[in-house]
């Protein structure tokens, strides 16, 4: 079954769009690019066995991969702004997703209006792409 | 001693808003206001930009209904050029507008309002959300998610992106539609119609148990305004404006949307950033009117597609005149979704949809033009003025939420008077006031990044600002 990479963020807000820059470096995969996570993205996880979310994180010092485990909490009072965990939980419950879900945290520092990344975000792009490739190879799945 | 109850933010809507409920010395609700607390200033941003940029810029107005802004903007651009777009471009615009209606209504009905409808307005707030539905109504919410996915996918396949597509342009659209894209879209039709028929049946089965809410969440006489086609049927892309009153009488008909300023005026209040549109001949506030799904079904005589026509006939039997209960926006929304899927199927079967010629080109030939369409929440107008070189001098965007603003404030006040007991606030009371707003599905911004983490605080204060009672929801 194929793997799915979801790049999250607004490329007009500086480092918020760092996930899209990492997605540009990935080979053999067509990432799903979104500004933010919404419920219907859960349906995209159907027929995949691995999903990797790429997201900017102002607290990250270096790119990292962490497994998203178990059901997440609720969506809160609004239902259209979600976390990777809630998307995975909905996909598991409604869309038959039983694979592995991972979150790749990407260092991000400057979220002002710009299409450029900060030097710190740029410095970690290749490493992040390498981490994603390694995970995909380890999972031995065909990228989607 | 007068008191004020504040609901801030209003949850499960698109954007940032709060509600103030004013309580008189006798402890009764005196009035209520719906405040929109965000300011975006898009009209000012347009000034000085080339008019060709407008569809791309306007796509950023909203993350929920960007296609409608692109279409109204592109149509205004057509007017500035003085051209008619090629047939394939018109068909694409129509297709994406229906997809927009479908995905936006799916978000409103299934994701934002269904927790109230299916789980109950008094159900525990921590469960009254999409996750509660995932647990209790998995098939229902899965179908809602798939419907929105279909609408988004149509927009993505034709417009390149599911949110903020840069696709429309003055004179047409940027790219022809491919056969592969058309065929993929067609594969969604059967499931979508089945899902909508299930949802319609489910909502109608619930209405008997919601009579209190139907009667008191925005049930009042008003005018209704919407676009109709040449034979008085539902129309979303191009047509003439019809206005009916609460008795169903036609007040004005065959109004040219390009002359909206002759029959619509806007007023401002200092406590909200949204303007108040009104029907000019009746003045402010007497000329209040409603737009959107409920209004469109009230002004149109028929849908023009078989399944939606059957539902619309049943819908119109709910009143001898116009259907005035704002709660029935939900039902109208589902009927419009069914109609949209039927129309999408018709468009996909039209061979001209795949035409290669999708853009008429010209230099600007006019200094002023207006584009309009029916957006998910109601009639949308973009009014542009340019200089000799085509540089934007002025833009006026008349959005559906502004046109519903008077009605939303009346709905909030009516719900507060009926359900809020100031001496003993409960979360369920608050939720009914919010539910009155959700009927209209107001769209207040395109950015919802932070609001999901904002707490909901209801405070009962006396005139000096002292907090008498407080409920917090995180």
- A70-117 pLDDT, tens digit per residue, is 655 554 544 456 899 999 999 999 999 999 999 999 999 999 999 999
Strands A50-57 and B223-228: unpaired
pLDDT for residue B130 is more than 90: no
pLDDT of residue A143: 55
Confidence at residue B173, expressed as pLDDT on a 0 to 100 scale: 98
pLDDT band at B308 (very low <50, low <70, confident <90, very high): very high
Q: Which residues of B46-58 are buried (b: 16+ CB within 10 A; e: fewer)?
A: beebebbbbbbbb
> Is the pLDDT higher at A131 or at B273?
A131
Print the domain residue range for A21.
2-143
User: Which of the pair, B154 or B5, is modelled with greater confidence?
Assistant: B154
Q: Is B287 helix (H, G, I), strand (E, B) or coil?
A: coil
**Which residue of A56, A58, A80 to mutate against B (max B Cβ within 10 Å)?**
A80
ipTM of the complex: 0.82
Nearest residue to B133 (alpha-carbon basis) of B178, B199, B221, B83: B199
Phi-psi region of A43 (alpha: psi -120 to 50; beta: other; left: phi over 0): alpha
Q: Tally helices (H) and strands (E) across chain B.
A: 16, 16
Calpha distance B199→B118 (Å, rounded) = 11
What class does CATH assign to B84-219+326-361? Answer: mainly alpha
Judge: B12–A76 Cβ closer than 8 Å, yes or no.
no
Tally of CB atoms within 10 A around B233: 17
Task: Give the mean pLDDT of B114-133.
Answer: 90
CB B334 within 8 A of CB B205: no
Give A138 to chain B, closest Cα distance, Å. Answer: 31
Q: Which of A27-36, A64-73, B167-176 has the lowest mean pLDDT?
A: A64-73
B254 contacts chain A (CB < 8 A): no
The better pLDDT of the pair B226, B7 is held by: B226
Strands of B247-307 (E only): list them: 250-255, 264-267, 276-279, 289-290
Total number of domains constituting chain A: 1
In this predicted structure, what is the pLDDT of residue B466?
61
Measured between CB atoms, which of B129, B148, B449 is closest to A77? B129
For B178-233, how does the pLDDT look when each residue is reduced to its tens digit (9 = 90+)?
Answer: 999 999 999 999 999 999 999 999 999 999 999 999 999 999 999 999 999 999 99
The CATH number covering residue A45 comes to: 3.40.50.1450
Separation in Å, CA of B11 to nearest CA in chain A: 6
For residue A94, give the nearest of B129, B141, B164 by CB distance.
Answer: B141
The Cα–Cα gap between B227 and B234 comes to 7
Distance in Å, alpha carbon of B325 to nearest chain A alpha carbon: 25
pLDDT digits (tens, 9 = 90+) for B66-95: 999 999 999 999 999 999 999 999 999 999
Q: How many CB pairs under 8 A join A and B?
A: 80
Q: Give Dmax over CA atoms of chain A in angstroms.
A: 41
Contact A66, A24 (CB under 8 A): no
| 8 Å CB contact of A94 and B453 | no
Which residues in chain A touch residue B126, judged by CB atoms under 8 angstroms apart?
74
The crossing angle, in degrees rounded to 10, of helices B87-106 and B66-81 is 150
State which residue of chain A sits closest to B453, comparing Cα positions.
A76
CB A106 within 8 A of CB A53: no
How many CA atoms are closer than 13 Å to the CA of B350, on its beta-carbon side? Answer: 18
Q: Is A131 helix (H, G, I), strand (E, B) or coil?
A: helix
Cis peptide before B285 (omega within 30 of 0): yes
Shortest CB distance from B148 goes to which of A35, A40, A44?
A40
- pLDDT number for residue B64: 82
Q: Where are the beta strands (DSSP E) in chain A?
A: 2-8, 32-34, 50-57, 64-67, 100-107, 142-143
For B129-142, what is the mean pLDDT?
A: 92
Domain boundaries, chain B: 3-38+413-473, 84-219+326-361
């Amino acid at each position: 079954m194929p793997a799915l990479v979801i790049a999250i963020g607004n490329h007009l807000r500086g480092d918020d769009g760092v996930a899209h820059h990492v997605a540009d470096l990935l080979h053999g995969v067509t990432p799903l690019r979104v500004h933010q996570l919404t419920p219907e993205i859960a349906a995209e996880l159907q027929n995949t066995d691995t999903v990797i979310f790429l997201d900017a994180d102002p607290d990250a010092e270096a790119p990292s991969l962490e497994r998203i485990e178990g059901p997440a909490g609720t969506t809160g009072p609004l239902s259209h702004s979600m976390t990777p965990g809630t998307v995975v939980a909905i996909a598991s419950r409604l869309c038959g997703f039983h694979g592995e879900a991972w979150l790749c945290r990407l260092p991000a520092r400057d979220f002002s209006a710009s299409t450029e990344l900060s030097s710190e975000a740029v410095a970690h792009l290749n490493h992040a792409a390498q981490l994603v490739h390694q995970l995909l190879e380890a999972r031995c799945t065909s990228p989607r | 001693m007068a008191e004020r109850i504040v609901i801030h933010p209003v949850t499960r809507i698109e954007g940032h808003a709060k509600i103030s409920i004013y309580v008189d010395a006798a402890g009764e609700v005196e009035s209520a206001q719906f405040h929109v607390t965000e300011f975006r200033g898009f009209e000012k941003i347009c000034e000085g930009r080339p008019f060709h940029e407008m569809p791309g810029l306007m796509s950023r107005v909203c993350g929920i209904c960007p296609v409608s802004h692109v279409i109204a903007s592109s149509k205004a651009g057509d007017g500035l050029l003085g051209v008619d777009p090629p047939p394939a471009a018109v068909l694409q615009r129509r297709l994406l507008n229906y997809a927009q209606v479908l995905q936006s209504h799916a978000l409103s009905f299934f994701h934002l309002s269904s927790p109230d409808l299916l789980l109950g307005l008094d159900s525990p707030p921590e469960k009254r959300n999409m996750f509660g539905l995932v647990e209790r109504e998995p098939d229902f919410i899965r179908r809602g998610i798939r419907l929105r996915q279909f609408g988004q996918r149509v927009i993505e396949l034709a417009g390149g992106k599911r949110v903020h597509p840069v696709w429309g342009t003055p004179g047409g659209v940027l790219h022809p539609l491919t056969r592969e894209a058309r065929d993929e879209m067609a594969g969604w039709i059967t499931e979508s119609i089945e899902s909508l028929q299930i949802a319609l049946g489910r909502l109608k089965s619930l209405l008997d148990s919601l009579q209190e809410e139907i009667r008191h969440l925005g049930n009042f006489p008003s005018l209704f305004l919407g676009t109709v086609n040449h034979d008085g049927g539902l129309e979303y892309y191009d047509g003439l404006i019809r206005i009916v009153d609460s008795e169903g009488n036609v007040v004005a008909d065959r109004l040219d949307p390009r002359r909206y300023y002759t029959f619509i005026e806007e007023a401002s209040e200092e406590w909200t950033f949204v303007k108040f549109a009104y029907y000019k001949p009746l003045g402010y506030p007497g000329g209040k009117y409603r737009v959107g799904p409920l209004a469109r079904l009230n002004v149109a005589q028929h849908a023009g597609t078989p399944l939606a026509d059957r539902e619309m006939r049943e819908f119109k039997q709910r009143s001898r005149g116009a259907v005035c209960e704002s709660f029935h926006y939900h039902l109208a929304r589902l009927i419009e979704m069914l109609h949209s899927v039927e129309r999408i199927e018709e468009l996909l079967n039209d061979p001209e949809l795949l035409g290669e010629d999708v853009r008429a080109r010209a230099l600007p030939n006019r200094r002023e033009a207006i584009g309009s369409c029916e957006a998910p929440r109601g009639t949308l107008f973009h009014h542009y003025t340019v200089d000799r070189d085509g540089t934007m001098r002025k833009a006026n965007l008349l959005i559906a939420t502004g046109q519903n603003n008077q009605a939303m404030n009346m709905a909030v006040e009516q719900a507060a008077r009926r359900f809020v007991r100031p001496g003993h606030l409960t979360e369920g009371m608050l939720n009914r006031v919010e539910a009155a707003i959700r009927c209209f599905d107001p769209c207040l911004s395109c950015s919802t990044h932070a609001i999901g983490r904002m707490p909901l605080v209801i405070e009962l204060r006396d005139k000096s600002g002292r907090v008498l009672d407080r409920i917090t929801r995180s």
